[in-house]
Amino acid sequence: MGLRFINFPTICFIFLLSFKVVNGDPADGVFNVKDFGALANGKNDDAKVAFLSASTKACNSNIAAKVLVPEGTYLVSLAKFQGPCKAPTVFEVHGVVNALPRLELIKSIKISAPAENLNTDGIHIGNSNGIEISSSVIGTGDDCVSLGQGSKNINIFDVFCGPAHGISVGSLGKTLNDEMVGLTVRNCTFTGTDNGVRIKTWPDCADGIASDFVFDDIVMNNVQNPIVTDQQYCAHNKCNLKVPSRIKASNVSFKRIRGISAS
């Protein structure tokens, strides 16, 4: 159940505010981006003022702090959240955070979620062309990077992945004419992940294309399944495995992949 917010009378609000805030900072260490002007309407850029202001205040807090992103849809431009902070600081995201159109470079970021938290993809890309992800550390309960239909010419370099399900193409085939063309994953390290690099397509699906993929110079440390090509991907056992996938996978290369498998 989502949180419900109640508009109290002004005098009551002032009392609560004076009770909760000490020296200008929340006494509980929670910095809600909406308190810093985030509109959460999916149209206005909430990064330049709200997200940066909340993260800066949290980072300068003398007690453990949390930047809270409540339910809503947030549009954010490229923002740099920089430490070190005075005390442990985390982001807690309950809403949807979307990048501005034509964001082409994702660099030097760190994303962390507990391994047991399901459906927590670090970065998901879909219907995008020419995106580069580099020099980043990602650990989640799902894919470090997932690549959906309509992704083209994606480059992923120097990414440390784990814990996670790996870097995955797909799953493709749930919609008509799914297509993923052009992917390079190079100089990446996977540690303690369920999978390394993975391609997954649904059986009994519409025609589609998955082509021109290069996986090169990759280190696997204690990875359950370093390379996975699964054209009978079936989440929740809701598919017909008797009919093969119609996603045509072609021109896929795996080079200089080395390390230790946990299986």
Catalytic residues: 142, 165
d(CA 24, CA 20): 10
Residue 199 and residue 212: Cα distance in Å, rounded?
12
